[in-house]
């Protein structure tokens, strides 16, 4: 009976170890979402969203393969360094920030490719449209411990999306027929995370 009880307790302990997870949160002070878009085929306009929140669930404190990621971006925090342009981007021509205050990236799974390289695929929602989007991700360095004893990690993720697939109305054309504002938008996410 004692042997059976010991086996059951051991099995429960091992089962708990196998499903144990670590939770990480976004360090907002050291994270941002940047974007770049072509203008009239002549130049590029860049900007960022300054407010990002999110969490990451990993299998352990050092292995990010299979991590599940959820992010929220505050649309009002858009910043292109030109106030009039930022207000236009918040309007119904673009993000409709009043009606859709958040951009979300949900149920995203990080898959190791090789070395510090990963792919990240999840559900990106902007306005009233949700699409599967895949980022190429690089882990910057390894897990480190900061001055406060917290475990930290950092990643850079990049992708390109077509803004017209997310119900952005602005679609001006030049007299030549070329796009005034390019359809494709390059996105770079720089994120630093803290283990809870």
Could you tell me the sign of the dihedral formed by the alpha carbons of 115, 117, 118, 119, in that order?
Answer: negative
Tell me the sheet residues that pair with 22: 58
Under the banding of pLDDT at 50, 70 and 90, the label for residue 174 is confident
Task: List the CATH number of the domain containing 135.
Answer: 2.40.128.110
Supply the range of the domain harboring residue 107.
21-195
Q: What is the pTM of this model?
A: 0.86
For residues 133 and 24, what is the distance between their CA atoms, to the nearest angstrom? 22
User: Is 184:47 a contact under the CB 8 Å cutoff?
Assistant: no
Please write the tens of the pLDDT for every residue from 117-160.
Answer: 999 999 999 999 999 999 999 999 999 999 989 999 999 999 99
Number of independent structural domains in the chain: 1
Tell me the sheet residues that pair with 114: 117
For residues 77 and 79, what is the distance between their CA atoms, to the nearest angstrom? 6
Q: Is residue 136 part of a domain?
A: yes
Under the banding of pLDDT at 50, 70 and 90, the label for residue 41 is confident
């Amino acid at each position: 009976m004692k042997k059976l009880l010991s086996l059951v307790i051991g099995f429960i302990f091992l089962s708990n170890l196998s499903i144990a997870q670590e939770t990480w949160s976004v360090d907002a002070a050291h994270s941002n979402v940047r974007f770049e878009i072509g203008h009239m085929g002549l130049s590029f306009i860049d900007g960022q969203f300054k407010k990002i929140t999110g969490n990451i669930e990993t299998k352990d404190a050092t292995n990010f393969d299979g991590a599940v990621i959820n992010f929220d971006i505050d649309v009002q925090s858009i910043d292109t360094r030109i106030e009039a342009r930022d207000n236009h981007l918040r309007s119904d021509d673009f993000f409709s920030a009043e009606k859709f205050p958040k951009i979300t990236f949900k149920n995203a799974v990080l898959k190791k490719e090789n070395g510090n390289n990963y792919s990240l695929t999840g559900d990106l929602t902007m306005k009233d449209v949700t699409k599967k989007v895949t980022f190429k991700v690089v882990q910057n360095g390894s897990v480190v411990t900061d001055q406060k004893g917290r475990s930290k990690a950092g990643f850079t993720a990049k992708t390109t999306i077509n803004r017209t697939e997310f119900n952005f109305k602005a679609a001006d054309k030049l007299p030549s027929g070329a796009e005034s504002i390019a359809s494709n938008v390059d996105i770079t996410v720089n994120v630093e995370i803290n283990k809870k």
